[in-house]
Amino acid sequence: MSAVTQGAAAPAPDRSHGPSRRPLPIRQSLVVGLVVLVLLMVPWVFDAFTVSTFTRALVFAVLAMAVNLLTGIAGMPTLGQAAYFGVGAYTGALVSIHWSELGVIQLLLATLAGVVAALLTGPLAIRGRGVAFLMITLAIGEIGYSAAGRLDWVTGGTDGLSGILPVVLLPGGEGLVNEGLIYYYVLVVAALAYVGVGVLLRSPFGLTLRGLRDNEARLRAVGYRTNTYALGVYVCAGGLAALAGSLWTSSQRFVAPGDMGFDIAALALLAVIVGGVGSMWGACLGAAVVVFTRDYFGQIISGHAPLLLGILFVLAVYLLPKGIAGGRAQWRSLFPRSRAETTPEEAT
């Protein structure tokens, strides 16, 4: 399903579909500004529990971006990102307990650990494509999960690691204990990650990844070492997932094997599907939908969160085949933006 075939199917000059079309700068900056404003307002408007739910949603957004990088951009569906999320979470926790409370150091070392873990496991994973890749990553996720439960001397076994100190921004500074401040910390890191992924996707490397998804054989035929690119994106996604894991440690101040289980990987994949496979802002929005469904609405209707999530899965697949991001494009094609194109009834 390339943009070319879509264009051929719709001969009308409907420019809202094309991925190359950029929104008007003014409109775009307005939307971005509004989103930033709303995100900055969160701790001033909501109670502590809601703020912490927003924090978890942001952490999940970073994890969902990692999953989307593999699944949506490079076409390699993964159920194993929770393993690298866990590597980052435990690394962050261990650094915090044994060495430094500085956020930057925790983030850097956790990301590095995720990159190393992905470098070690990636060569095996990228031997498969499609469902084979999905299953290998599932196995990697399961190994990570069992390892976290078994390696008691590092991970505290099934009891997990507690005693994680509040994260500190500058040497000698105060630890972040306030929900709102933790939220801002996670928000800033998540925003930087979002920008970083955006830069990556606009680079030649990012464009090649889309080629990997759309036609790997042709890419190989013109001389690209596709396996190198597959490993490259795998390592990037591993590092990004580990970054999310470190944020998780800082915000929850507790890590247990359950934080890297199959359900976390499944939730991240759900976030990507709900948001729209291939769209980064869609993945972030999907992460928010998933986390609020699980932690907020699931709480309200007496803890039937899995039921709600299951229904969300089914509805998303049937009703939003292209996710929220794709739904927006469909919405636009139904109601063109330009006033000149709208009929009088719609204009009123």
Partner 1 sequence: MIGWFNSHLVSMVDGVAYGLLLFTLAVGLSLVFGMMDVLNLAHGTLYLVGAYVAYALSDGSWLGLLIALVVGLVVGLLGGGLLAAAVAPLQGRGHLDQAALTLGISLIAAEVLVMIFGGEVLPTAPPVALSASVSVLGHTYPVYRLVFIGVATALAALVYLAFERSSIGALVRATVADRDMVRAMGVDTRKVLFGVFGFGAALAAIGGVLGAPIIAPGPGIDERVLVLSLVVVVIGGLGSVRGALIGALLIGQVQTLGVALVPSYAPFLLFGAMLLVLALRPQGLFAPARA
Choose the stretch contacting partner 1; rule: CB under 8 A; options: 50-58, 82-90, 137-145, 223-231: 137-145
Least distance to partner 1, CB of residue 240, Å: 19
With a CB cutoff of 8 Å and minimum separation 6, the contacts of 288 are 54, 57, 60, 61
What's the CA gap between 18 and 10, in Å, rounded? 11
Least distance to partner 1, CB of residue 180, Å: 33
Least distance to partner 1, CB of residue 313, Å: 3
Over the window 43 to 72, marking each residue x when it contacts partner 1 by CB under 8 A and - when it does not, the resulting string is ----------------------------x-
* Chosen residue from 27, 162, 311, 342 binding partner 1 by CB under 8 A: 311
Structure tokens at 280: 């980064």
What's the CA gap between 228 and 223, in Å, rounded? 12
Structure tokens at 204: 């030649």
What's the CA gap between 126 and 78, in Å, rounded? 11
Q: DSSP states of 205-233 as a string?
A: HHHHHHHHHH-HHHHHHTT--HHHHHHHH
Choose the stretch contacting partner 1; rule: CB under 8 A; options: 17-25, 106-114, 224-232, 316-324: 316-324
What's the CA gap between 74 and 308, in Å, rounded? 30
- The answer to whether residue 230 forms part of the interface with partner 1 (CB under 8 A) is no
- The answer to whether residue 93 forms part of the interface with partner 1 (CB under 8 A) is no
CA distances from 210 to 22, 68, 193, 231, 316 (A): 18, 12, 20, 14, 24
Choose the stretch contacting partner 1; rule: CB under 8 A; options: 83-91, 144-152, 232-240, 338-346: 144-152
- The answer to whether residue 196 forms part of the interface with partner 1 (CB under 8 A) is no
Least distance to partner 1, CB of residue 218, Å: 19
Choose the stretch contacting partner 1; rule: CB under 8 A; options: 7-15, 19-27, 126-134, 174-182: 126-134
What's the CA gap between 64 and 291, in Å, rounded? 11
Site for partner 1 in 255-294 (CB under 8 A): 262, 266, 269-270, 273, 277
> Residue 24: helix, strand or coil by DSSP?
coil
Residue found by looking up tokens 């390699």 in the block:
76
* Chosen residue from 158, 314, 330, 337 binding partner 1 by CB under 8 A: 314
With a CB cutoff of 8 Å and minimum separation 6, the contacts of 50 are 42, 296
With a CB cutoff of 8 Å and minimum separation 6, the contacts of 232 are 205
Over the window 68 to 87, marking each residue x when it contacts partner 1 by CB under 8 A and - when it does not, the resulting string is ---x-----x----------
- The answer to whether residue 132 forms part of the interface with partner 1 (CB under 8 A) is yes
Choose the stretch contacting partner 1; rule: CB under 8 A; options: 30-38, 190-198, 221-229, 317-325: 317-325
Least distance to partner 1, CB of residue 39, Å: 27
According to DSSP, the residues that pair with 255 across neighbouring strands are 161
Q: What is the DSSP code (8-state) at residue 259? A: G
* Chosen residue from 169, 200, 299, 304 binding partner 1 by CB under 8 A: 304
CA distances from 120 to 2, 98, 157, 230 (A): 33, 25, 23, 14
Decide whether 269 or 280 has the Cβ nearer to partner 1: 269
* Chosen residue from 134, 169, 200, 231 binding partner 1 by CB under 8 A: 134
Residue ranges that bind partner 1, judged by CB under 8 A: 71, 77, 124, 127-128, 130-132, 134-136, 138-140, 142-143, 146-147, 150, 262, 266, 269-270, 273, 277, 304, 306-307, 309-314, 316-318, 321
